[in-house]
Amino acid sequence: MFDITALCKAAKKASYGICAADSNQKNAALSEIALAISKRRAEIIFENEKDLENAKKSGMSESMIDRLSLTDKRIDGIIEGILQVTELPDPSGRVLSEEVRPNGLKITKISVPIGVIGIIYESRPNVTADAAALCIKSGNAVILKGGKEAINSNRILCKIMRDAVSKAGLSEDTVCFVDSVSREDTAALMKMKDYVDLLIPRGGAGLIRATVENSLIPVIETGTGNCHIYVDEHADEKKALDIIFNAKTSRVSVCNAAESLLIHESRLGLLDKIKERLDQKSVSLYCSSACFNALSSKEKVFLATEEDYYTEYLDYKMSVKEVSSLSDAIAHINEHSSHHSECIVTENEEAAALFLKGVDSAAVYHNASTRFTDGFEFGLGAEIGISTQKMHARGPMGLSELNTYKFVIKGNGQIR
């Protein structure tokens, strides 16, 4: 039987080793991983084939099967990603503040790895290597728990990474793999508070909710995006049309895509043009009655329910509602949003300032698409997820967010 406690204990022990490793050692481990994945790609493709066959048998959709597939090109992408992580600065050991107190104590606040990070994810086996690379670079041990549909792919990737890490002189348990598809083991992992310091669920709303509800370990919620575009009274028409079209349709399946349009009641005349633009991608609109009535064509136009305004469609669908003031827009967003990314389109600086201050979301935009909320676009170099909660990290999480800090105090016998 799979022993989740033993696995977590092993990860904890390994975490002290990787925590003490210097940048060269961590980069060497990443280089070994990249090399090993390249050399052993035939094994990866062989194991991935098993997952793909099972997926076909189970009647998985084409798009899901595509996500699951590890082609030569995707393996090259994984390797490229790992090598990029070696180029990033080491987030650990930075002096965040330093002070000599009146009693002579020197107090230094210094960034340090978190310890053991558990990643619970669905489907895409790329995450296995991406997440491990970010954890290693940031000095953490990682416990990987992927979806059952990718178990063969994930198992071989973890085996290759464990071998490589060991070759680089670190404990193989720096990368731990939950080789189980049992829900009991996942539930048990969430209780391993003594050994696991952080859980990051990556996947749909159901996975995230289940993790929050069952975990005793601190959780960072990621990637739910009911993002809003607010077209203000003073919006520039072209900017509004471009931003709405881009934010809604450039990639509908991602968390930073817009899901809801708010429009000042004085600008309802713009709705026909907005719809015309969105018609290029056959976007359905779920409208308040005022917006419904303002639209000339009712093709793909529906009346919204209150539920629509809370919905992250991840599809060619958008909810649409008028507001009678900026403060109504802010209040609506704070009530309905998942607090990911929201945008105001306006030429009025005062309105923009009020929106940016009043909207309680990780990323707030003035005249730009919400699609920019992303670790690479923000210049973090990489991203383990986009946090939609407020503790520890908010918005795109890079290597720095996989560190905590400690206080180091040097004295010469001081007592209190």
**Quick one: which of 65, 83, 105, 290 contacts a second copy (CB under 8 A)?**
105
With contacts defined by CB under 8 A, name the span among 67-75, 145-153, 179-187, 242-250 that binds a second copy: 242-250
* 19 part of the interface to a second copy, by CB under 8 A: yes
Query: What distance lies between CA 386 and its chain's CA centroid?
Result: 3
* Strand segments (E) across 197-332: 198-202, 227-231, 258-264, 284-287, 301-303, 317-323
Q: Which is nearer to a second copy, 111 or 153 (by Cβ)?
A: 111
* Residue 346 burial class via C-beta count within 10 angstroms: exposed 0-12, middle 13-18, buried 19 and up: buried
Residue 85, C-beta contacts closer than 8 angstroms, at least 6 positions apart: 30, 133, 134, 137, 381, 382, 399
**Quick one: which of 292, 302, 316, 405 contacts a second copy (CB under 8 A)?**
405
Q: Which two tokens stand for residue 1?
A: 């039987």
CB of 379 to a second copy, least distance (A): 6
Residues 394 and 106: beta-carbon distance below 8 Å: no
Please tell me whether residue 322 adopts helix, strand or coil conformation.
strand
Cα–Cα distance between 53 and 49 in angstroms, integer? Answer: 6
Residues 329 and 263: beta-carbon distance below 8 Å: no
* 413 part of the interface to a second copy, by CB under 8 A: yes
With contacts defined by CB under 8 A, name the span among 25-33, 124-132, 179-187, 359-367 that binds a second copy: 359-367
**What Rg do the C-alpha atoms of the chain give, in angstroms?**
24
* 281 part of the interface to a second copy, by CB under 8 A: no
Q: In the range 106-165, which residues lie near a second copy by CB under 8 A?
A: 107, 114-115
Q: In the range 46-85, which residues lie near a second copy by CB under 8 A?
A: none
CB of 140 to a second copy, least distance (A): 11
| Residue type, position 198, single letter | L
CB of 194 to a second copy, least distance (A): 10
* 340 part of the interface to a second copy, by CB under 8 A: no
CB of 296 to a second copy, least distance (A): 26
With contacts defined by CB under 8 A, name the span among 26-34, 126-134, 272-280, 369-377 that binds a second copy: 369-377
169: enclosing H helix or E strand? none
* 373 part of the interface to a second copy, by CB under 8 A: yes
Q: Which two tokens stand for residue 375?
A: 């670790």
Q: Which two tokens stand for residue 4?
A: 């989740």
* 366 part of the interface to a second copy, by CB under 8 A: yes
Q: In the range 196-235, which residues lie near a second copy by CB under 8 A?
A: 197-198, 212-213, 216, 218-220
* 238 part of the interface to a second copy, by CB under 8 A: yes
β partners of residue 120:
145, 201
CB of 308 to a second copy, least distance (A): 18
How many Cβ atoms from other residues are within 10 Å of residue 16's Cβ?
12
Judged by CB under 8 A, how many residues of this single chain contact a second copy? 67
Q: Which two tokens stand for residue 295?
A: 């639209």
* Torsion 257-259-263-267 (CA) sign: positive
CB of 342 to a second copy, least distance (A): 10
User: Given the rule CB under 8 A, which residues bind a second copy?
Assistant: 16, 19-20, 99, 101, 105, 107, 114-115, 193, 197-198, 212-213, 216, 218-220, 236, 238-239, 242-243, 245-247, 250, 334, 352, 356-358, 360-369, 371-373, 377-379, 389-392, 394-395, 404-416
